[in-house]
Chains A and B, each alone.
Chain A
Amino acid sequence: MSYFFQLVTSGIVVGSIYALSALGFVLIYKSSRVLNIAHGQIIASGAFITYALTVWMGIHIAVSFILSMIITFFLAMSVERVFLRRLIGEPIISVIMVTIGLMSIIDGIIYMTPFGSENFSFPEFLPKVPISFWGISISWTQMVGVVITFIMIGAFTWFFKASTVGISMRAVSDDQFASMSIGISVPKVFGLAWATAGLSAAAAGGIIGNITGLNFDVLHSFGIIVFPVVIVGGLDSIFGAVVAGIIMGLIQQFASGYLDGKWGLNGTADVLPYIILLIILLIKPHGLFGIHEIERV
């Protein structure tokens, strides 16, 4: 039975990190209806900034982690200002194409640094002995990751539900022209959406980098890995990202734990999320918690 609960615990841990990684997609889509293809690159950048601050500048990792989120907040805001501000009102596909270009630019910049082609790991600052209870083990890195994830998800949920700025962002997502007519600055909202997405991506990068080590390929691939999470949860739902993240984490762990190695099966943890994605989209095309818009003509 402890095997089952170990898989549940690991599934929740992995799922919550997926949710945090998916959050950046949701935050941008929620306010601007744009899918940021360069999200994985921003996750990687956040992790590398944390490393550079910690190892090269000698700042404590906890402080570096927060500083990296702040730096990425402003970097993402600048990216929006320079590359995307001019595209407000243009077809969404044009904006998505720009994010594809952005992905190549960030790739190029990172390949010019040691992070593009070398491996690094964060200094070990947490106890190596795992937290164990009822035959279940969880590493301190994972535990800290889960706590940070839930704090951030809670904060963003409150922000969108209760704060004026958050409500403005939701209004812009619903209707840009109507929002402008009531005095909401759409450009500022877009900038803020990118900035908050950058902040959450930096947090995700820091946590993933602590678990896997810092390898550019691994880190930026999380932009794609969490894609089923975003689609299943609903592109515009933070709660959906959390639920879908945990569902995906659990599916992967159960698939790996109960299917792999039996009946000649292998690698089911990688395939099953996409099968579930297809099934859910067949039943609910807007994802589990996505808003189904009805246009009256």
Chain B
Amino acid sequence: MKNKQVTFMLVGLSFLLMLGFSAQALAGETYPIALSLAITGPTSDVGSPYSKGVEDYCKYVNDEKLLGDDKLECFIRDDGYKTEVTKRNFEDFLDEKIVFYLNYSTGSTMAMRKDFDEEKIPTLPASFHAGNLVDSTYVFLPISSYSSQAVGLAEYVAANHKGSGKPKVALFLHPSAFGRAPRDDVKKAIAAGLNIDLVEIVEHGKDLDNTAMLQRFKSKGVQYVISQTVQPPVATMLKGAQSLGMIAKTYGEAGKITFLGCHYAGGPDLIGLAGSAAENYYWTTSYKLMTAPGPGTDAQLALAKRYGRDEKVAQSQNYTNGIMVVQVAVEAMRRAKTKGKKVTRASLYEEMLAMNGYNAFYPLTTVGPVTFSKTDREGVDTLQLYVAKDGVFHELGLPFASEYVKKIK
């Protein structure tokens, strides 16, 4: 009798174990990805909506079963814009066996390029500095680099300048590797024949007033200022220019200055800071703005609504930015799975490099396809120009790609 009971219990236990294993197998695999960024501290106005974009899209992937029975596990940690904290976070993430990493700042990406290579982990940062790609094989830029953006804007200035002679241009840069990123490439483009006169390159400080700089620009005949920095210094400059009556009401207006800026130097938040002084500000990015109706923007608004985000977050290009990097990671996973590969760092890296030609990825959150290859790790090559009118950024013309960037590469 006792033997019968023991046998029965053993059979029952084996059945339970089998059930447990098969349930686990049915539940699919979990793919951990991670993001370290500034939710507090400097640039948290960018980092906060960015992290929400990543978080929401990760939830969406799991809720909508975009990876079938497999799940995405997303680790997000604040680093306060401190590289040493980013590095510590990254090391912690490695313990979680992450297969894809999302980094944030230019400084930490530059500092940790070697770590990404050592770990052979595909990495998408929020920094679009072309220097991130130098001496590195695992860093991918989601969109056109700052250099491509600044050179693209300079090309637009050259092509659309009203008046005789070369357009006089000044660069207004953040005093860091992030700000200086496009400086040399703009000079190279000029050397390669770009028809502008680069009158001055300014690295700004924490200024309360830019009168001296703006008056100097005026005395040198500067008609266009291209900014590669964050929004607050641009807002202070625009407010100063407004009070001095220097902002061009129409593009290239004679005797006035037309202000233009790269991705982080503009967007809806700039209007929030500068108010009416941001009117007629020209801004470029590779992301689709929420003011441009279309399937991508509709989906983003729906996503923000679904996960309880307010209007400001829903409209932010940095929310789009966060969504887009997870879209790319998930697409690489999906493609690896379709080919019957196991989702690993190596297979995701292969899929990232194969994302070109007919295999280009169209995430709908950008103005062009995401393409990567062994020789090109800049994602979206096209840019869209936007102009601020009546407190909203509107699309201006069709997406374009910088010609001179190809020439100087």
Contacts and interface: CB of A to CB of B under 8 A. Distances in A.
Interface in A135-171: 137-142
Nearest to B173: A266
A269 B232 contact: no
A120 B44 contact: no
A111 interface: yes
Nearest to B234: A213
B191 interface: no
Contacts of B240: 139
Contacts of B269: 118-119
B1 interface: no
B407 interface: no
B232 A217 contact: yes
Interface stretch (A42-50, A58-66, A88-96, A256-264): A256-264
B170 to A, nearest CB: 9
B245 A137 contact: yes
A120 B312 CA distance: 11
B312 A212 contact: no
A230 to B, nearest CB: 16
Contact of B232 (A10, A140, A212): A212
B203 A267 contact: yes
B212 A119 contact: no
A207 to B, nearest CB: 10
Contact of A218 (B48, B200, B203, B232): B232
Interface string A18-40: 10000000000000000000000
A270 interface: yes
Contacts of A13: 209
A257 B216 contact: yes
Interface stretch (B97-105, B252-260, B273-281): B273-281
Interface in A189-227: 208, 211-218, 221, 225
Given A118-B45, A118-B312, A121-B274, A212 B243 contact: no
A7 B219 CA distance: 14
B205 A270 contact: yes
B63 to A, nearest CB: 25
Interface centre among B39, B207, B269, B275 (most CB of A within 10 A): B207
Interface string B201-233: 111111111011101100110000000000110
A45 to B, nearest CB: 16
Given A130-B244, A212-B235, A214-B273, A3 B219 contact: yes
B273 A10 contact: no
B40 interface: yes
B101 to A, nearest CB: 22
Interface centre among B41, B200, B208 (most CB of A within 10 A): B208
Contacts of A253: 209, 211-212
B298 to A, nearest CB: 24
B273 A121 contact: yes
Nearest to B242: A128
A288 interface: no
A213 B236 contact: yes
B215 A3 contact: yes
Contacts of B48: 116-118
A14 interface: yes
Contact of B273 (A14, A111, A120): A120
Contact of B276 (A124, A140, A142, A218): A124
Nearest to A121: B275
Nearest to A208: B208
A260 B213 contact: yes
Given A117-B47, A121-B272, A257-B216, A138 B243 contact: yes
B175 interface: yes
A10 B47 contact: no
Nearest to B231: A119
Contacts, number: 141
A34 to B, nearest CB: 25
A256 B44 CA distance: 29
A6 interface: yes
A218 B208 CA distance: 10
A10 B243 CA distance: 12
A247 to B, nearest CB: 15
A117 B212 contact: no
A14 B209 contact: yes
A6 to B, nearest CB: 6
A107 interface: yes
B44 to A, nearest CB: 4
A229 interface: no
B56 to A, nearest CB: 16
B216 A111 contact: no
B42 interface: yes
A136 B45 CA distance: 35
A117 B232 contact: no
Nearest to B269: A119
B168 interface: no
Contacts of A216: 44
Given A121-B273, A139-B243, A218-B232, A261 B216 contact: yes
A138 B242 CA distance: 10
A77 B204 CA distance: 37
Given A111-B39, A212-B232, A266-B203, 5 more contacts: A3-B215, A117-B45, A121-B274, A142-B209, A253-B212
26 contacts: A6-B215, A7-B211, A10-B211, A14-B209, A17-B208, A18-B208, A117-B44, A117-B48, A118-B45, A119-B273, A120-B273, A121-B235, A121-B275, A212-B239, A213-B273, A213-B274, A215-B231, A218-B236, A221-B206, A252-B212, A253-B209, A260-B213, A261-B220, A267-B203, A269-B212, A270-B206
Interface of A: 3, 6-7, 10, 13-14, 17-18, 107, 111, 116-121, 124, 128-130, 137-142, 208, 211-218, 221, 225, 252-254, 256-257, 260-261, 266-267, 269-270
